[in-house]
Amino acid sequence: MKSTALPIAIYLGFTLISSPGIRAAGSNAHLARPSANQYAWHEQERIMFVHFGVATWEGTEYDKDGKTDLSKMNPAGFNAEEICATAQSWGARQILLVCKHVGGFCWWPTETTDYCVRSIPWQGGKGNLVKEVADACRRHGLAMGIYVYSDDPRYTSGIGNGGKTDDPAKQEEWNRLLRKQWEEVLTLCGPDLVREIWFDGSCIVPLTDIIQRLAPDAVVLQSPITNIRWVGNEAGIARDPNWNTLMGSALKSGVATQDHSDPAGDTWAPVECDVPLYNHNWFWNPGNERKRLSVAQLLDIYVKSAGRGSVLLLNSTPNTDGRIPDGDRACYLEFGQALERNFGHPLAVATKVAGRDIELDLGDSVKINCADLWEDYRLGHRIRGYVIEGRVNGAWIKLAQGTAVGRRKLDLFAPVTADRVRVRVTDAAGEPVIRRFQVHRVDAALAEGNAPPLSQNAPAKASTVHSAPYEARFLVDGDPQTRWSVIGPEDTDPWVEIDLGRPRKFARASANELDDRIRKFRIEFRDAEGEPWRIAYQGQGIGGSWSADFDRVTGRFVRLHILEYVGPGPTLWEFQLRDRPEAWETIGGWQGGKEMAVDLSRVVCEAGQYEVRFLAADGKPLTVGRAVLLFEGREAESVFLSGVRTEVLKLNRTQAIGEGASTALRVTLDGSSSAKGVVQIRP
C-alpha cells in the first residue's frame, strides 16, 4: 500500500542517557502485544467513515422500517475517486464504507433482497457502489473497511439486536441471508483490500469462518472474534491514559470499550475513536451542514484520539447528488493542512532508541509547546511512566508527564524557549524502546487548549464531603465521571482548597455542576498558609458548564469558595485552572518623577523569560528611560535585560528559582512627577 506517513524532520542530534535507578514494573515476557493485523491497522492512524444510504434522502439518522420508496434515490454525481481523494486530503489511509445500514438497504446488487441498489434509478439499476469504492481504494493505495448492519426489518423490530430475530423459528433463515451478504461484499472487495470489519453492536450470527477466509488481514470490532475496541463515545476522544490492553474475559463479551482498559491486561485490543463531521449527525441533510465541526475542533479531537495512541475514525457523508458537499471537502483539506503544519515538520527528532532517557539538542534556543513520543508498541506497553523536560536558560524544567504511550502520545504545554529537551522514562515493564521522540511548535490555541490544567491531581481538601465516593480529590482528578459533593444544607459556607505545590500563574478557570445550585462563588488565592485570601474572580453561577478568563494572578493555594446555593448541597464534576499566554498580571503601582524599585520576586517564580510594562492611568504604556535588573540584590549582567528606552522591558531569569530568591527592577520612567499607574508582567 502507498504510504501517506507524515514527513520526518532532519535529525538534529540526541544523547542517550542511562537511568539505572528506574523501577521495572514487571517482566516484559508476559506483556500483551499486537498481532500483525492489529499493528498494520493501527499504523494507519486515520480512517474515513462513509455514511450514505436511505436516511440521506429521508433526512433522518435511520431508515427504521425498510419501506422507503426507492425511486427517488439517484446519486448521479457519485464519484468514488472523489471519496478517496477527500480521505487522502487529511491523511486517512482507509475508507470504512457503510454498505448496509439500519433498514436493510444494500449498496451492492445482493441476491438476498430487492431492497438494494438494483431497485433505484442510479445507473439504470445496474450500479454497484461497493465495487466502485473498492476499485477506487485499490487505485489510490487505500485499505478498505466494511460495515454491514446485522439486522433487517423483515426479521427484527427496533434496532441494535445484533442479528437476533424476533421469531426464533426464523433465526436460521436470517443467519443464512446475513452470511450470504457478507460473502458477497467481501468477495467484491477481495482479501487483499479489507483491513477492518465493523459490527455496529455485537453480532450473534456465526461469521467467523467467512471473515477468516475472505478477510484474513482484517481486524474486527464488536463480535465474538473482536480484537479492537470502540472508545465508548461518539465524540472521537480517548481518555488519558489510554491503554491498548485489557483482560481477555472482558474482550470476549464483544462490547468492551476503553472503560475496560487495564495496563496489566493479558490481551491486546486497541481503541478506535469515531466521530461525525456534523455534530451528533452521521447522515447528510441540508440542516446538518450547519453543524460541521471547525478545523480547530478537529485538531483538538486528533490530539485526544491519535495523540493518545488511538485510531481516529472521522465520518463523511455524501448528499443526495452522491457528492461530499463542497464545504465538507474544504474542511477536510484544511484539516489535513493543519495537521501537516503542526505535526509534519518536527523541530528535532530521534528515532529507534532502546533506552530510558533521550535528550534532543535543539541547537539555538527555540520556542516549543508540544512533545511527541512514540513507543515500539510491537513489544507491548513497556513504558508506564515518563517525564518531558526542557532546558530553559540553563535550568531544566518539567513540561509534561504521563503514563501510557503506545503508538503515539502528544503532550501539549505552555510555550517555552529551550535549547534542549529530554524524555525520562520513570517507570517501565522491562527495557523501553522508543520508536520516535520529537518536538513541535504547534498553533498557540491548540497548545493552550490541550495543556493539562494546573490544578489536575493537585492535593485537595474540602470544608465538607458528602461521603467517601465524593471526596475533594475527585474535583481535580481529570475524570469527568467523578465528583465532589457537599454534605448538605447544614454546610452554609462550603469550599475546596487545592495546593499547586508552588506559586503558579493562572488566568482562566472552568467548572461544571451536576445540577444548577450554586448562585454565588469566588476563586481565592494566596501564597502561604496564614496569609489572607485574595480574590481572583467572583461569579454568579456555574451550572452545566462554566468558564471565565480574568487578570492573571500568582498563588500556590487556590480555593473554590461557594458563597450561596439553593437546594441540596452542590455537586461538581471538575474544577480546572489554566494560564493564558497573552494575559498580563498587575503586580503594583508606580509614581512618576523619581527612580523607583519594583520587586518581582513573588511573580518571577520560575526560570524563564518575562515582559514588564508600566501603564498610565489612561491605559497607555510609558517609555522606560533607564532600567537595572537585580538578582538576589546584585546587579545582573546586561544580557539578562533588553529593551531600555522602550515601552516593554524583556528580562531573563536564568537561575533556578529557589526559596528566598529575589528579582527586582530599578527603573526611571519618562513622565511627570504627578503621573501614576500600574506595573504589569507576563511570561
Q: Check residue 654 and give its pLDDT.
A: 65
Does the residue 365 lie in any domain?
yes
Specify the higher pLDDT residue, 619 or 146. 146
Q: Which of 153-162, 167-176, 307-316 has the lowest mean pLDDT?
A: 153-162
**For residue 656, what pLDDT band results from cuts at 50, 70 and 90?**
low
How would residue 547 be classed by pLDDT, with cut points 50, 70 and 90? confident
216 vs 602, more confident: 216
- Cα 509 to Cα 553: distance, rounded to the nearest angstrom: 12
Q: How far apart are alpha carbons 257 and 233 in whole angstroms?
A: 9
- Specify whether 634 is located in the same domain as 675: yes
The chain-wide mean pLDDT, for the chain, equals 90
Q: Is the domain of 529 the same as that of 671?
A: no
Look up residue 460 and give its three cell numbers: 485537595
Give all strands (DSSP E) within 332-459, no chain letters.
348-354, 357-375, 383-392, 395-402, 409-428, 433-440
Q: Which three cell numbers, joined as nine digits, stand for 273?
A: 475513536
Does residue 35 fall inside a structural domain? Answer: no
Q: Nine-digit cell at 13?
A: 542530534
Domain-embedded: residue 112: yes
Range of the domain at 591: 585-682
Average pLDDT over residues 339-368: 93
Is 22 a domain residue?
no
Contact present, 111 and 169 (Cβ < 8 Å):
no
Residues 574 and 589 placed together within one structural domain of the fold: no
Backbone φ, ψ for residue 330 (5° rounding) = -65, -35
CATH number at residue 646: 2.60.120
Domain CATH for 296: 3.20.20.80
Give the pLDDT of residue 10.
26
> Total structural domains in the chain?
4
**596 and 572 belong to one structural domain:** no
pLDDT-derived band at 606 (thresholds 50, 70, 90) equals confident
- 17-37 pLDDT, tens per residue? 233 333 333 456 689 999 999
Q: What's the confidence (pLDDT) of residue 637? A: 82
Whether residues 315 and 206 share a domain: the answer is: yes
Helix, strand, coil percentages in the chain from 3-state DSSP, rounded to 5: 20, 35, 45
Q: Which of 343, 374, 405 is the last residue of a domain?
A: 343
Domain stops at, among 393, 421, 450: 450
Report strand pairing: 624-631 vs 634-635.
Answer: antiparallel
Report residue 500's pLDDT band, with 50, 70 and 90 as the boundaries. Answer: very high
- Assign 480 a pLDDT band (cuts: 50, 70, 90): confident
Q: Is residue 31 part of a domain?
A: no
Residues 627 and 667 in one domain: yes
Q: What is the pLDDT of residues 233-259, one digit of tens each?
A: 898 999 999 999 999 999 987 779 999
In this structure, the answer to whether residues 185 and 301 fall within a common structural domain is: yes
Q: Which three cell numbers stand for residue 135?
A: 476499485
Counting residues of the chain whose pLDDT is more than 90, the rounded percentage is 65
The cell for 682 is 507576563
pLDDT in tens, 149-168: 999 999 998 888 999 999 99
pLDDT band at 642 (very low <50, low <70, confident <90, very high): confident
Write the CA distances from 564 to 319, 494, 567, integer angstroms. Answer: 51, 9, 10
Is the pLDDT score of 655 beyond 70? no
* Contacting residues for 168 by C-beta, under 8 A, at least 6 apart: none
Residue at 8 is within a domain: no
How many Å apart are CA 266 and CA 682, to the nearest integer? 49
**Cα-to-chain-centroid distance, residue 652:** 33
Does residue 643 register a pLDDT over 80? Answer: no
Q: Tell me: pLDDT of 9 over 50.
A: no
Task: Work out the pLDDT band at 308, boundaries 50, 70, 90.
Answer: very high
Residue type, 575: F
Neighbour tally for 418: CB within 10 Å: 23
222 contacts 181 by C-beta, under 8 angstroms: no
Q: Is residue 202 domain-shared with residue 144, that is, in the same domain? A: yes
Q: Which residues contact 373 (CB under 8 A, 6 or more apart)?
A: 386, 388, 405, 408, 409, 411, 423, 434, 436, 437
Q: Are residues 117 and 141 in the same domain?
A: yes
Length of the chain measured in residues: 683
| Class of residue 39 by CB neighbours under 10 A (exposed 0-12, middle 13-18, buried 19+) | middle
pLDDT bracket for residue 353 (50, 70, 90): confident
Q: Which of 6-10, 74-78, 490-494 has the highest mean pLDDT?
A: 74-78
Percentage, residues of the chain above pLDDT 70:
95
Q: How far apart are CA 671 and CA 617, in angstroms?
A: 12
Q: Is the peptide bond before 241 cis (omega within 30 degrees of 0)?
A: yes
Of 68, 145, 134, 147, give the one whose Cα is nearest residue 100: 147
319 and 405 inside one domain: no
211: left (phi over 0), alpha (psi -120 to 50) or beta: alpha
Residues 546-570 have a mean pLDDT of: 92
For residue 38, being part of any structural domain is answered with: no
Q: What is the mean pLDDT of residues 420-433?
A: 95
Question: Which band of pLDDT confidence, cut at 50, 70 and 90, is reported for residue 362?
Answer: very high
Query: From the DSSP assignment, how many helices (H) and strands (E) are in the chain?
Result: 10, 34
CA-wise closest residue to 451 among 401, 417, 496, 404:
401
Whole-angstrom distance, CA of residue 502 vs CA of residue 603: 11
pLDDT band at 1 (very low <50, low <70, confident <90, very high): very low
pLDDT at 657: 66
Residue 16 has pLDDT above 80, yes or no: no
Same domain for 293 and 179: yes
Q: What CATH code is carried by the domain that includes residue 537?
A: 2.60.120.260
Please report which residue ranges of 190-251 form alpha helices under DSSP H. 208-214, 248-251
Q: Is 20 inside any structural domain?
A: no
What average pLDDT does the segment 516-537 reach? Answer: 94
pLDDT at 623 over 80: yes
Q: Which domain-ending residue is among 422, 450, 478? A: 450
Give the model confidence (pLDDT) of 41-78 as tens digits: 999 999 999 999 999 999 999 898 899 999 999 999 99
Residues 6+ apart with CB under 8 A from 209: none
Same domain, 538 and 612: no
Average pLDDT over residues 117-125: 97
Residue 595: pLDDT band with limits 50, 70, 90:
confident
